[in-house]
Amino acid sequence: MQKPNENIMRIIDPHVHLFDLTLGEYQWLKMDKPPFWPDKHLIVKNFSEQDLNLPAPLELAGFVHIEAGFDNQKPWREIAWLETQCTLAFRSIAMLDITLPSVLFTQQLEKLSQFNSVVGIRYILDDDAHAILSDTNCQINLEILAAKKLSFELQMSVSDTKAVKYLSKILTSVPTLKVSINHVGWPALDEQQHLIWLANIKLLAKFQHVYIKCSGYEMADRDYPPSWPHQIINHCIENFGIERVMLASNFPLNLFRASFQDTWLNNIAQPYTPVEIHRLCYSNAEHFYLF
């Protein structure tokens, strides 16, 4: 693990999406397909690692690419494209359906594992979280994933108590499964929903292989109060400890609210110590994503 440098603040961004609209399918980015965001046009364009620029003393040392719907039927196509395009140190998270029959799941996982950058998978749960997590194939496939020492990116509302309880059963049954909660589990500005989110965060934080990524606030509310992300980050640190919290950008969806540069400047605006900043912005992601 690299030690903090007082002159340079090295960052590993653990949640980035890159697009090539000429090669990938990206159904969710088509203007006639959901989600029907009024500002969707801001991100319907190609993005490469050259767009990930940070001002000194910040330095992007690496990033984690999270699947972006390049080709959900052949998810290895996205990884192959990334590995021919990217020159920075990076790791990739591939799309893989965790409800597939285990034989097919294993076959696709083996194909993905042949790529050097792949360290885990994501299958978006969101509104279907309970149905997916209770699927008969789900736990079997997550056991296979854990046995191969690959991680799972969890995208769902942590305010969904029914789904969280089922997830807790899986985490108890598969204690070695590494999980990264995406976008802080969609916290809400609504006070009642916030309390439910916080109670479930406390529950998930008890599992030592579960980490949490702080990003995606713009997806909950484009006009969130400037102080809100740091309130959320502090809740995460209080429950997960400084060693299991990662700050991230959600690039390019962060552009709905701020530039890549301003997103990271806002991330580090809270008065943490240099050692804490190093953990939140670099070494926790380095450890979880096997850099």
Listed by start position, the domains of the chain span: 10-288
pLDDT recorded at residue 269: 87
Confidence of residue 6 (pLDDT cuts 50, 70, 90): low
Measured distance CA(180)–CA(151) in Å, rounded: 7
Question: If you average pLDDT over every residue of the chain, what do you get?
Answer: 96
Confidence of residue 162 (pLDDT cuts 50, 70, 90): very high
Backbone torsions φ then ψ of 248, nearest 5 degrees: -145, 170
Q: Scan for tokens 């997590």, then name that residue.
A: 133
Confidence of residue 5 (pLDDT cuts 50, 70, 90): low
pLDDT recorded at residue 216: 97
Look at residue 1 and tell me whether its pLDDT is greater than 50: no
Look at residue 32 and tell me whether its pLDDT is greater than 90: yes
Confidence of residue 45 (pLDDT cuts 50, 70, 90): very high
Q: Model confidence over 171-186: pLDDT tens digits?
A: 999 999 999 999 999 9
Q: How open is the CA angle 216-196-241, to the nearest 5 degrees?
A: 65
Mean pLDDT to the nearest integer, 204-210: 98
Look at residue 2 and tell me whether its pLDDT is greater than 70: no
Q: Scan for tokens 């990271």, then name that residue.
A: 264
Q: What percent of the chain has pLDDT over 90?
A: 96
Q: Model confidence over 105-154: pLDDT tens digits?
A: 999 999 999 999 999 999 999 999 999 999 999 999 999 999 999 999 99
Look at residue 155 and tell me whether its pLDDT is greater than 60: yes
Contact 27, 78 (CB under 8 A): no
pLDDT recorded at residue 270: 80
pTM: 0.96
Measured distance CA(201)–CA(223) in Å, rounded: 24
Measured distance CA(119)–CA(225) in Å, rounded: 34
Measured distance CA(201)–CA(256) in Å, rounded: 26
Other Cβ atoms within 10 Å of 182 Cβ, number = 25
CB burial string 3-32: b at 16+ within 10 A, e below: ebeeeebbbbbbbbbbbbeeebbbeebeee
Q: 10-288 falls under which CATH superfamily? A: Metal-dependent hydrolases (3.20.20.140)
Q: Model confidence over 218-253: pLDDT tens digits?
A: 999 999 999 999 999 999 999 999 999 999 999 999
